[in-house]
Chains A and B, each alone.
Chain A
């Protein structure tokens, strides 16, 4: 099986045809940022990007996404380690409590800002609806998304 993850080609052998992408990432490739929470796409802890769109990796077969662009939390920062705006905002706003859901939250938020650079509260509600936080950090998640959006729009202005 050939998978393109974070811009790198990975060859994975000895994987059952029906193995979800989540377990290939975690058990076979050692990319453990995506988390197992429910196994049936109810909690969002396993969220990764497939061709830039957020998907629940627990419920997608790895064999079905061969040759497509997969991005995980490990691939969000730039090569030199610079965090993306969402990751930086998560640190700035000290969002995490236990931290278990946060990789999934960050993946969902990053995808949201890519498609909608200035989300309203309602946009955030709908884009983040699939990601549970058992510790209840939603207040900070919302703040961090708005802050990241603001920072990104500032960067766009300065680039222009």
Chain B
């Protein structure tokens, strides 16, 4: 195996590490590490609180614990300004509003006068600072509540001391402490300096509010950056400007793994506006810097124009030769067999299949791109052995460490500023573009803004991996589902384990609930990089499993709702105490709620149908019912999608509803028309003409219902997405009798 091939493989291992870190399931609602609060000084006085985390257990955390915390969760200034710091990247999931809401609730701060700022990257102070796996809320819920509650306790102490009354007689509301008995009150502003002089109580000792006491959480609160967004202020990575910066493009081999043999750099350097052009050997890892040509210019347009004239001779001897059409042919041939890897084998599926003819079907779904609307970019300035970076990333901590590795400098020499992110969807868990900008800036000796084109973005993604499922389902005499077999055909980079995002859990629904189940796996060799895409695995697997489950219900001549509830069985939590494990009681509740709200069972005119699907992922139980019409030309209209979810208490109702509305539209958009083809290692699609994002006319009405159970609150960025595609596919069947077994639906002749 060549060095480049080895590099590509280790890149996949790194992506898998990122995904594992994003989806870590440490105890939620509890502090798993020693942590305590410190008061730090603030110029001009006032109260500043920072959590100081004594140990860092995170694999990707950067840097050692610092004695002094330069940043904090909250600041109360004597002039009345309350500043709350949001520690994690804002990628459109609404965390920059949700995080401070949690702090403000426990602090009893007046939300109307709170200022929210993006925190600096400092995991020693803040703990987890990434956006992925829908983990922001569950992993930070306790930490942020206690940050606010400690602040409140200290302000109350300061007031009680000033009035010489007992703390227990004081109450708080709207950034004010009250002593009702003596009709006294003091604003947090007036108490800030006094509070700062007090010892910090143990955060475990402070009393947290009960849900009944919440005034802010659960309300509909608008995004804190909304005004800046509607007035076009510079918020995003692409908007950053550094004095003296030049504009860069970076051209890589269209087939991953290709190296630069020669390029017409002399000619390029003479083009108008061009300042430099050079080859970067890179590290050979798609997660870092692949070999390519950097062109620097005095404007983005000059750089874009110059690249049109660039001619590169690539050595593709070790580059990808992957072909999607060849993979499809291979998979079809393997469909009738079992796979060599056994993932699960419980009971005796063969006995069931021998007793009655099994239901059989073959499902497929393609590779897809993330296509965030903001193409990858980063601004970087390298000076005196240190680099300063402005980047839209989902994993800033990991980015700092990676840039340090790539440049061969210490992580302390990397300063990363978090910008707002123009769409994440999992793409920006990888920081390849950040590494490229840093490497180009170092080589060029001037600050640079690296700007990928849309075509770069579509060609050099870490794609959602495609896959195939060859199913058999076994019914008993009463029409009950008792056996499930899935030969899962996926891909591998290293020949050992499935490529990132392409693994099937042995506990995948519904195998885990059935007495007889056999899951086997075949892995086809692949070089094109893959990675997590919104609700990794679930975003594709749910389409296959939830559609095939419906096929089984139809074969049993039973109502899908009743059939699905029977599969869930008695209400039980498969791993009590672990929110990331299926709870069939919560599942049944959302399934019933979605069915009820959608009017399940009502008769509909010809060509119109209801489809149901459920999926559990990222600690969220979600059921959805789609109402779909199909005309004679297979033109689809998705009239309405009803979403019922249980993610515990809702932090920001407006944000949660926005996420479910978006997840439905994103899920439909991907299922309907998105596919990345590749031949000879080259991605075929270039831009949105060939890679359609759903447009407004096709967007269904979305109704969201949340259970708001008393379980620990969990995230909503991902789990509402997986049920959409199968709900629509099942509705198409209900409307027409035609079973859709592959995504995108356009491949089966459907249009919107």
Contact with B along A78-90 (1 / 0, CB 8 A): 0000010001001
Contact of A128 with B by CB under 8 A = yes
Is the CB–CB distance between A141 and B231 below 8 Å? no
How many B residues have CB within 8 A of the partner chain? Answer: 69
Given A74-B231, A98-B420, do A16 and B305 touch, yes or no (CB 8 Å)?
yes
Residue of B nearest to A75 (CB): B232
Given A37-B374, A97-B93, do A77 and B231 touch, yes or no (CB 8 Å)?
yes
Contact with B along A102-118 (1 / 0, CB 8 A): 11001000000000000
Contact of B74 with A by CB under 8 A = no
In the assembly, what is the distance between CA of A51 and CA of B669, in Å?
34
How far, in Å, is B734 (CB) from chain A's closest CB?
24
Is the CB–CB distance between B238 and A136 below 8 Å? no
In the assembly, what is the distance between CA of A77 and CA of B227, in Å?
11
Contact of A134 with B by CB under 8 A = yes
**Chain A interface mostly helix, strand, loop or mixed?**
loop
Residues of B within 8 A of A137 (CB): 658, 661-662
Contact of B694 with A by CB under 8 A = yes
In the assembly, what is the distance between CA of A22 and CA of B299, in Å?
12
How far, in Å, is A27 (CB) from chain B's closest CB?
5
Residues of A within 8 A of B694 (CB): 136, 138
Is the CB–CB distance between A33 and B375 below 8 Å? no
Q: Which of B233, B235, B298, B375 contacts A36 (CB 8 A)?
A: B375
In the assembly, what is the distance between CA of A140 and CA of B664, in Å?
13
Is the CB–CB distance between A33 and B94 below 8 Å? no
Is the CB–CB distance between B299 and A102 below 8 Å? no
Residues of A within 8 A of B220 (CB): 94
Contact with B along A46-60 (1 / 0, CB 8 A): 000000000000000
Contact of A40 with B by CB under 8 A = yes
Contact with A along B449-474 (1 / 0, CB 8 A): 00101100000000000000000000
Work out how many contacts link A and B, with CB atoms closer than 8 A: 189
In the assembly, what is the distance between CA of A77 and CA of B222, in Å?
20
Residue of A nearest to B694 (CB): A136
Residues of B within 8 A of A39 (CB): 304, 453-454, 687
Q: Which of A28, A40, A126 contacts B687 (CB 8 A)?
A: A40
Q: Which of B92, B223, B699 contacts A138 (CB 8 A)?
A: B699
Contact of B278 with A by CB under 8 A = no
In the assembly, what is the distance between CA of A106 and CA of B659, in Å?
20
Given A43-B688, A136-B664, A136-B694, do A16 and B272 touch, yes or no (CB 8 Å)?
yes
Contact of B702 with A by CB under 8 A = yes
Residues of A within 8 A of B388 (CB): none
Given A73-B231, A136-B662, do A100 and B373 touch, yes or no (CB 8 Å)?
yes
Residues of A within 8 A of B695 (CB): 128-129, 132
Residues of B within 8 A of A73 (CB): 230-232
Contact of B54 with A by CB under 8 A = no
Contact of B746 with A by CB under 8 A = no
Residue of B nearest to A17 (CB): B272
Given A20-B301, A32-B239, do A42 and B92 touch, yes or no (CB 8 Å)?
no
Given A91-B226, A139-B699, do A98 and B231 touch, yes or no (CB 8 Å)?
no
How far, in Å, is A150 (CB) from chain B's closest CB?
18
Is the CB–CB distance between B302 and A99 below 8 Å? no
Chain A CB within 10 Å, residue with most, of B238, B305, B374, B666: B374
8 A-B pairs whose Cβ atoms sit less than 8 Å apart in the complex: A37-B375, A74-B232, A94-B654, A94-B658, A98-B90, A100-B423, A136-B662, A136-B663
